[in-house]
Structures are given as structure tokens and as C-alpha cells.
Amino acid sequence: MTLALAPRRTVLADFVPGALVRDLTLVLAGAAFTGLAAQVALPIPGSPVPLTGQTFAALLVGAALGWQRGATSMLLYLIAGVAGVPWFQGGSSGAPVSLGYVVGFVFAGALVGALAKHGGDRTPLRTVGTMVLGNLVIYSVGVPWLMAATGMGLGKAVSVGVLPFLVGDAVKIALAAGVLPTAWALVKRVR
């Protein structure tokens, strides 16, 4: 005798019915959401990298879609932007100085998605930890790219490519710490 088990739903996207069509739609929607969020761009005096909503979107997409769909969505965002879709910061396309941060989204989407699969987005405290780690991944790719693209040393790259963004990142992390656990509470109520 075998027991038929219901499929284990481990990230928010798993509650959307369907399979291949669902996954393709979610990947495309995640990339488009990140592109839309990138249009919220505030210049930072002295930095070639603006403060945008795309990091919030990239991490939220990773957590909601899981590591495979999240990373794929961010890879689609990256490829489409480099190919000319004007959805990088402020409607630009191509390979801006800040492209390393966008490359970091792919890895951060995978990490955040994997952590979400294991409950990293279920409580505010866990979500904060998950999002902090995701941001660290983005910085770990973005800062070396910024150094290579501009010839800056590490100290200068950190001072213009990390420090001005810490307060904004803290606000985005706080938003995620409210949004994701609330979404899980709603999902549990509906089930």
C-alpha cells in the first residue's frame, strides 16, 4: 500500500496552480516587476549608482518564487536589459557601471529563494536575516564590478557603492519583513 502525499508547497509561488505555464508566467512577471521597480531611481550624490527599488524587487521575487524560478527570473531581467529592454535604473539598458549589482541579483535570487524554501521568509526576524544575506550577495558581486568598471579602489568603491545605500536597504528589508510574513499568514488563512 502506498500513501499519496500532497505536493509540499515550500514558497509562495507554489500555491499558484499549474506547472510549466505557471512557472513561465511567474518568471516573466518577476523580471517585469523588477524592471518596473528599477524605475524608482534616486540619484546618490557622489555615486555612479542610484538608489532604486530593484533590489527590493529582486529579493522579494527570489523569496516568493523559490531559488530556481527566482534566479531564472533575475537572469531573464539581466539578459533582457543587456539586450536593450529599457528597464534598468531609470529606463536605461545596456551595460551600466552598476551592472554588477544586477548580476548579483541572479545569485541573491537563488540564495534568498533557497532560504525561503526552508522558512526564511515566514517570520519578520527570519526575513530580515534572509534579506541581509541577499543584500550581501548583491554587494559582493556589485562592488568588484564597480571597481573594474571605474578603476576605483576597494575603499572608494565601498564608500560610493555600499555605504550610501545602507539606510535604503534597511528600509527595503523592513518592508520585506512585513510583506512576506503577512503573505504567508494570508495563504494559511485561505487554505
Over residues 60-83, the mean pLDDT reads 94
Count Cβ atoms below 10 Å from residue 129 Cβ, excluding itself.
15
| Residue 140 belongs to a domain | yes
| Residue 4 belongs to a domain | no
CATH number of the domain that 75 lies in?
Answer: 1.10.1760.20
Asked whether the beta carbons of 94 and 82 are under 8 A apart, the reply is yes
The residues that bridge with 92 in the sheet, in sequence order, are 88
Mean pLDDT of the chain: 87
Given a cut of 90, whether residue 93 has pLDDT beyond it is no
| Residue 70 belongs to a domain | yes
Residues 6+ apart with CB under 8 A from 187: 12, 15
Task: Return the HEC string of 1-70.
Answer: CCCCCCCCCCCHHHHCCCCHHHHHHHHHHHHHHHHHHCCCEECCCCCCCCEECHHHHHHHHHHHHCHHHH
Convert the pLDDT of each residue in 110-142 to its tens digit. 999 999 999 999 999 999 999 999 999 999 999
The residues that bridge with 41 in the sheet, in sequence order, are 52
Residue 88 DSSP label: B
Q: How confident is the model at residue 6 (pLDDT cuts 50, 70, 90)?
A: very low
| Residue 80 belongs to a domain | yes
| Residue 3 belongs to a domain | no
CA distances from residue 176 to 14, 62, 71, 161 in whole angstroms, order as listed: 19, 12, 18, 22
Chain position carrying cell 564590478:
145
Q: Residue 67's pLDDT is what?
A: 94
Q: Residue 3's pLDDT is what?
A: 42
| Residue 135 belongs to a domain | yes
CA distances from residue 115 to 8, 98, 110, 153 in whole angstroms, order as listed: 16, 26, 9, 32
Q: What is the pTM of this model?
A: 0.85
Over residues 52-79, the mean pLDDT reads 94
| Residue 2 belongs to a domain | no
Q: Which residue type occupies 175? A: L
The structural domain count of the chain equals 1
| Residue 85 belongs to a domain | yes
Alpha-carbon distance of 135 to 105, in angstroms, equals 9
Q: How confident is the model at residue 51 (pLDDT cuts 50, 70, 90)?
A: confident
Alpha-carbon distance of 172 to 29, in angstroms, equals 20
Q: What residue numbers bound the domain in which 99 lies? A: 12-190
